[in-house]
Amino acid sequence: MMDNLLQILLLLSVSVTVIVIFQRLHIPTSLGYLLVGVILSPYTIGPALDVPEIKALAEFGVVFLLFTIGLNYSLPQLHALRGQVLGLGTAQVVLGTALVSVIVWWMGVPIAAAFVIGAVFAQSSSTIIGSQLTEQAEQNTPSGRLGLAMSVFQDVTAVPFLVIIPVLGMAVSAEVLVGTLGMAIAKAALAFALVFFVGRWLLRPLFRLVTKRQSLEALTLAVLLVVLLAAWSTNQLGLSLAFGAFLAGMMLGETEFRHQVESTIRPFRDVLLGLFFIGVGMLLNPMTLPAIWHLAVLGMLLILLSKIMIVLIMVKRSGFDWQSAIRTALIVSVGGEFGLALLALALDAKVLDLELGQIILTSVLFSMVVGALLIRFNAPIARALTSRRDSNSAIHSEIEVPKQAVLIGGYGRVGHTIAVLLHSSGIPFVAFDTDYKRVDQGRKDGHKVYYGDISDPELLAAIHAENSALVILTTYEADMGVRAATFLRKRCPHIPIIARAEDLQMTSRLMEAGATHAYPEAIESSLRLAATAMAMLNVPGEDVDAIVQSIRDWDYIPVAETAETK
């Protein structure tokens, strides 16, 4: 017992140290957990981690990951993205697996092992993609949403691989293999129907009952019960635990409890997923690197280049411009944790020997590191590879911006309200947003709303932002607003910029970047409530206006100091 406790303390100490360093360097924490696994593996100098219970818990990391992914991709969302996600996602996995399998088989690897390598290399990391895009505020761009959606669907398509790979290790006939796969598909359909009907009839009433108690403890227990029960159900059908969790997440994603459930489950997901990556890192033997590093680099290039080529062609043929297609291809190119799970399964089934397994494992880990960098710099790489003149002319030919019009950055709740007021006053305006749904809604409203990143210098140059009468930044992405204000102040110093901010810290950043006025939304709503209250208490209107304006003139310092003391 004490030995296990010492090993857990060692694990926590190393994990905290590495993760803090990686977060300070803005490196995905999943790579940090991999490094922790390498440090604590039996192949490196120093203490080795050997706690069977931790390895068993680590398997649930992927379960909770797929559950939270399912929360963000409910049935209506998947139906809306069916042309992109289902078509492109399936084609990418099938073509990627086939291409890599043929190349590796041509190099002399047995056909069964080649198929496994193709399946492993076709996977992308939803964790790295999601965390990196969120950190860069690119999760709502077309390339970001499409890339993450494709990686999520890869996780779903991995379910048949979880059935096929163990069968490959049995050296059975093709007829048995086809029959087993058909049975797996039938079981998956049964599991989907079961979770779908149970979720529709029971999940919403269950969570309504639990939330009435206003107990976070009861809600946490209910979430754990639903996740593990769904995972157990699919596992009883011979499918993966993660598949059931994904289906449960999809069902809860349609309810009003989605956000609270996601915040409740996040600590469990992060810890268990970290343990999963640590377990994968422990499989890597650094002593073999001098002998296999060149093969691992070739494998890494095969992972990156095969996916970049396939995704680039598919996305471009789907109607996207070259820049969005390149960005999507770079995002999806990273190796995936599900590929590592398939690799571990193949090693257990003896489809791959240990030497080849080390090469594949090292290749995937290398691709995760390099792929994370490609995601980080996907926008500048895409801009460098595409013609600025062509992109500018394409934007300019589509968008007509009247001179002295108001330029609105962001067509969310605030941007929509401003657009309605300007339209009713007869003031010309043009709005930009990076969410296609908002753009479509704006066009249905009869407003000039276009897709575009308001912080993109090329877009602002193409539409001649210097001819605008006023710029209003209402974007929800803080960094996007700061970048836009910085560029506009340098290029168009004569144009006033009004910006929406979430808090005082964001207000200061926007003002320092060049905004003429920046209003913290939370404090402004408080001032409006206070002004209404004073008016109802018969305080003269001019006194109310003077008090509110004095607070604004003092940069909200009186109310800010009061809030900080609470």
Query: What residue numbers bound the domain in which 409 lies?
Result: 389-515
Question: Above 70 in pLDDT, residue 176?
Answer: no
User: Is residue 113 a contact partner of residue 349, using CB atoms and an 8 Å limit?
Assistant: no
Pair (125, 245) in one structural domain: yes
Q: Give me the number of domains the chain comprises.
A: 2
Percent of the chain with pLDDT over 70: 79
In this prediction, residue 553 has a pLDDT band, given cuts at 50, 70 and 90, of: low
Q: Is residue 316 part of a domain?
A: yes
Alpha helices in 425-469 (DSSP H): 436-444, 457-462
- The residue out of 385, 420, 448 marking a domain boundary is 385
Pair (479, 351) in one structural domain: no
Question: Above 80 in pLDDT, residue 433?
Answer: yes
Least confident range from 174-178, 191-195, 379-383, 467-471: namely 174-178
Q: Is residue 404 part of a domain?
A: yes
Which long-range contacts link 111-116 to residues 24+ away (Cβ below 8 Å)?
112/168, 112/169, 112/351, 113/346, 113/351, 113/352, 113/356, 115/164, 115/168, 116/165, 116/168, 116/342, 116/343, 116/346, 116/351, 116/352
In this prediction, residue 74 has a pLDDT band, given cuts at 50, 70 and 90, of: low
- The residue out of 337, 354, 385 marking a domain boundary is 385
Residues 203, 216: Cα–Cα separation, whole Å: 17
In this prediction, residue 5 has a pLDDT band, given cuts at 50, 70 and 90, of: confident
By CB neighbour count within 10 A (0-12 exposed, 13-18 middle, 19+ buried), where does 536 fall? exposed
Give me the CATH number covering residue 365.
1.20.1530.20
Predicted pLDDT at 308: 94
Find the mean pLDDT for residues 443-465: 80
Predicted pLDDT at 159: 63
Q: Is residue 530 part of a domain?
A: no
State which of 60-74, 87-101, 431-445 shows the largest mean pLDDT: 87-101
Predicted pLDDT at 552: 62
Residues 60, 134: Cα–Cα separation, whole Å: 23
Pair (355, 412) in one structural domain: no
In this prediction, residue 566 has a pLDDT band, given cuts at 50, 70 and 90, of: very low
Question: Above 80 in pLDDT, residue 473?
Answer: yes
- The residue out of 340, 359, 385 marking a domain boundary is 385
Give the sign of the dihedral formed by CA 206, CA 212, CA 214, CA 218.
negative
449, containing H or E segment: strand 449-451
- The pTM is what? 0.60
Give me the CATH number covering residue 433.
3.40.50.720
Predicted pLDDT at 384: 83
pLDDT (tens digit, 9 = 90+) per residue, 384-430?
Answer: 887 544 444 444 444 556 677 899 998 888 888 888 888 888 888 99
Q: Is residue 550 part of a domain?
A: no
From 321, 399, 337, 368, select the one nearest 146 (Cα to Cα).
321
Q: Is residue 533 part of a domain?
A: no
Pair (136, 264) in one structural domain: yes
Pair (138, 166) in one structural domain: yes
Pair (244, 293) in one structural domain: yes
pLDDT (tens digit, 9 = 90+) per residue, 27-48?
Answer: 777 778 888 888 888 777 777 7
Question: Above 60 in pLDDT, residue 499?
Answer: yes
How many residues are given for the chain?
566
Pair (86, 224) in one structural domain: yes
Pair (72, 199) in one structural domain: yes
Question: Above 80 in pLDDT, residue 565?
Answer: no
Least confident range from 115-129, 348-362, 448-462: namely 448-462
AA letter at 344: A
Predicted pLDDT at 98: 93
- SS3 for 457-476, per residue? HHHHHHCCHHHCCEEEECCC
Residues 552, 546: Cα–Cα separation, whole Å: 10
Question: Above 50 in pLDDT, residue 324?
Answer: yes
Least confident range from 48-57, 210-219, 296-305: namely 48-57
Between 232 and 505, the higher pLDDT residue: 232
In this prediction, residue 367 has a pLDDT band, given cuts at 50, 70 and 90, of: very high
Predicted pLDDT at 476: 66
Mean pLDDT of the chain: 78
Predicted pLDDT at 345: 76
For residue 500, what are its two tokens? 């929406």
Question: Above 50 in pLDDT, residue 561?
Answer: no
Which long-range contacts link 195-201 to residues 24+ away (Cβ below 8 Å)?
195/230, 195/233, 195/234, 195/244, 195/247, 195/248, 195/250, 195/251, 196/247, 196/251, 199/247, 199/248, 199/250, 199/251, 199/252, 200/251
Pair (204, 233) in one structural domain: yes
Question: Above 80 in pLDDT, residue 136?
Answer: no
Predicted pLDDT at 301: 95
Pair (429, 377) in one structural domain: no
Q: Is residue 560 part of a domain?
A: no
Q: Is residue 303 part of a domain?
A: yes
Q: Is residue 563 part of a domain?
A: no
Pair (462, 320) in one structural domain: no
Pair (379, 398) in one structural domain: no
